[in-house]
Chain A
């Protein structure tokens, strides 16, 4: 692993516009983002483009990042909490090539952090932007696949369907069934998918000082949680939301408060638990 200071910008590939997309498209994206920030948790449709990375690899997050990225930004990209997973490397390389911006693994040094499936353990601060890659922006899609219908449900804030689903989970198995992508209420108004982050990360969204932007490319939606917004995981008074992590300490840094990956060490049941957030873990060692 390299040192964590922001790295000198690379030379940008001049065959492409800054950050790949043309300026008119980026402007349209920024208008969508502004609208999303103005209505926290509400999904705003946008004309997503094909990017040179496939749908499902984070095209929504990539488009959001492309729209807000400036030449002086410092970009961090994580996947599963780690900077060195292949997809994170690939996206970082993409922006390195088409925008020539500085990149970092240091959560504290980044101005923009694009993530898939995790929120960094290091608390974010004002001025930072966390860009989530979102596969299915509609929190109700397993209960109601029709977008025309879910739009109506959101308009009426008629979220009984989801409460009933949680109730049925509890009645049948004693606890809610969702371990990740657990739905949240944003600003007391919109039900929102937090993207497939583990429930462990949900509380970090609440009153986060950083701006949280969510991009779903294939589903063509952008939504946002402005800084300091109330974000509550859906639950019941007698069954409060319970963030879960593996009940172990990290084998590398000893952390008992971070989210852990379970590493299979042999074929006789051997297990080792290590921090999913590689930057956090290295800093503690």
Chain B
């Protein structure tokens, strides 16, 4: 391969070789396999798939290894990869109501049809670092039975207390990864942006709504984690076929709405959905989704989490890290003109100060 200039090239080659060496760690120890990462660091894989907008456990695991465990870098690798794939079909909407439940809890009811299923959760563990060697844990005694479990939102809707969702506007679902975000953004695009948004950023924003920046009174109506079938309808067949399962986490956050002249007081819901088991992400997403509905509901928009442009244009960590980190690139051309500009302004300032020019001072004040 030919490259026109050699100086930077040699430096880049050397840096890449050093990086590869550092990434590998102690060569006396075996290299991590993607299977180990996918199996034992599964929540990291889940996060990378969500923020990378690409469901592929094996590739996400490879990306995490290549990124030395930097999950934003891994998500970036996955994003760059997905753009090389042809898009042949859009899936039918996931039926999360028919999810094969691994975990399902509601904070709004003590017990409810389908029951509370704790599943594999850190929630009630004691956070003590376990230094003892670990025997292989036993498999779960009883898998969830797979029966469909009704949604909490449906229970509230029966009573007329849950606001209905706006009807499907029809037409193809807009795609954030193919078209730029318009503002104001419709909810479908807001949810897409939040789904790939940075977990930490959304967590902080969701948290801010609980602390008075956006008047939220949230309750976890339901969190469910489980496998959902993905179905597509190939045009040449004309009927749905299932092409596989994905593990997802769904959160429905119930919020009050004061009502208006035309709408009775009722509950509204914020919605969160993330790939894999990602409760923190799904919960934060549902809080921010609800906050972003303020405009549509005629609520006063006062807090950052309610501001569409602020939230949606700053939640993407691949975009954010790119722009922040690009400050490492050389900027000496611009800095040179800043230097000359500062010298010029400074010289003028000093000359005026020496001359004691009162008219200038007045004009500046």
A7 beta carbon closer than 8 Å to chain B: yes
Name A198's contact: one of B1, B84, B337 (CB within 8 Å).
Answer: B337
> Given A47-B179, A89-B12, A260-B336, A244–B341 Cβ distance below 8 Å?
yes
Inside 8 A of B339's CB, which chain A residues have their CB? Answer: 246, 262
Looking at chain B, what size class is its interface with the partner chain?
35 or more
A20 contacts the other chain (CB 8 A): yes
A93 within 8 A of B: yes
Do B2 and A8 touch across chains, with their CB atoms under 8 A apart?
A: yes
Q: Which of B7, B323, B325, B349 contacts A84 (CB 8 A)?
A: B7
- Chain A residues with Cβ below 8 Å from B184 are 148
Could you say which residues of chain B place their CB within 8 Å of the CB of A103?
A: 2-4
| A171 near B341: Cβ-Cβ < 8 Å | no
Q: Does A80 contact B (CB under 8 A)?
A: yes
Chain A residues 1 to 24 lying within 8 A of chain B, measured CB to CB, are 1-2, 7-8, 10-11, 16-17, 20-22
> Residue A49 at the B interface, CB < 8 A?
yes
Q: Is B345 a contact of A89 with CB atoms below 8 Å?
A: no
Chain B residues contacting A146 (CB-CB under 8 Å) are 309
* B110 contacts A by Cβ under 8 Å: no
- Contact B2 A10, beta carbon cutoff 8 Å: yes
Residues of B with C-beta under 8 A to A84? 5-8
A12 to B92, CA, bound (A): 38
**Is the beta-carbon distance between A261 and B336 smaller than 8 angstroms?**
yes
- Given the interface pairs A50-B79, A147-B309, A148-B184, the reply to whether A117 lies near B364 with Cβ below 8 Å is no
Cα distance, A153 to B200, chains bound together (Å) = 34
Give chain B residues whose Cβ lies under 8 Å from the Cβ of A83: 4-5
Q: Which of A53-61, A123-131, A185-193 contacts B (4 or more CB under 8 A)?
A: A53-61
Q: Shortest beta-carbon distance, A227 to chain B, in Å?
A: 25
Decide yes or no whether B89 CB sits under 8 A from chain A. Answer: no
Whether B9 lies near A105 (C-beta < 8 A) is no
B132 contacts the other chain (CB 8 A): no
- Nearest B residue to A45 via CB reads B180
Q: Decide if the interface of chain B is mainly helix, strand, loop or mixed.
A: helix
**Total A-B residue pairs with C-beta atoms closer than 8 Å?**
186
| Least CB separation from B324: chain A residue | A56
Considering the chains assembled together, what is the distance between the CA atoms of A56 and B313 in angstroms?
Answer: 15
Judged by a CB distance under 8 angstroms, whether A46 is at the interface is yes
Task: Say which one of A156-164, A172-180, A203-211, A233-241 lies at the interface with B.
Answer: A172-180
Interface residue stretch chosen among B35-43, B62-70, B314-322: B314-322
Residues of A in contact with B, size category? 35 or more
Q: Are B323 and A56 in contact (CB under 8 A)?
A: yes
Contact: B2 with A179, CB < 8 Å?
A: no
Segment touching A, from B115-123, B152-160, B326-334: B326-334
Contacts A50-B76, A218-B323, A244-B340; A148 near B183 (Cβ below 8 A)? yes
Least CB distance, B17 to chain A, in whole angstroms: 15
B4 touches A50 (CB 8 A): no
CB of A145 within 8 A of chain B?
Answer: yes
B147 proximal to A (CB < 8 A) = no
* A50, B86: Cα distance in complex, Å: 15
| B80 touches which of A8, A50, A79, A118 (Cβ 8 Å) | A50
Q: How far is the CA of A8 from the CA of B84 in the complex (A)?
A: 27
Contacts of A260 in B (CB 8 A): 336
Return chain A residues, CB-CB under 8 Å to B7: 84
Complex interface: chain B residues within 8 A of A220 (CB) = 180-181
Nearest Cβ in chain A — how far from B301, in angstroms? 12
Pairwise interchain contact A7-B334, C-beta atoms closer than 8 A: no
Say which residue of B2, B9, B86, B329 sits within 8 Å of A22 (CB atoms).
B86
A87 on the interface (CB 8 Å rule)? Answer: yes
User: How many Å lie between the Cα of A179 and that of B4 in the bound state?
Assistant: 31
CB <8 Å contact, A96 and B1: yes
Residues of A with C-beta under 8 A to B334? 117, 179-181, 196, 198
Q: Which of A47, A92, A147, A180 contacts B337 (CB 8 A)?
A: A180
- A259–B334 alpha-carbon span in the complex (Å): 11
Would A46 and B180 count as touching, CB distance under 8 A?
A: yes
Candidates B86, B327, B344; contact of A175 at CB < 8 Å: B344
Q: List 21 A-B contacts (CB under 8 A).
A: A1-B5, A16-B84, A49-B177, A54-B321, A79-B330, A83-B4, A84-B8, A89-B12, A97-B1, A103-B3, A146-B309, A147-B183, A172-B364, A174-B348, A198-B333, A198-B334, A221-B180, A259-B336, A261-B332, A262-B336, A276-B336
Q: Apart from A2-B4, A50-B76, what are 10 other A-B pairs with CB-CB below 8 Å?
A: A22-B84, A47-B180, A54-B76, A55-B321, A56-B325, A89-B3, A175-B345, A180-B333, A244-B344, A246-B340
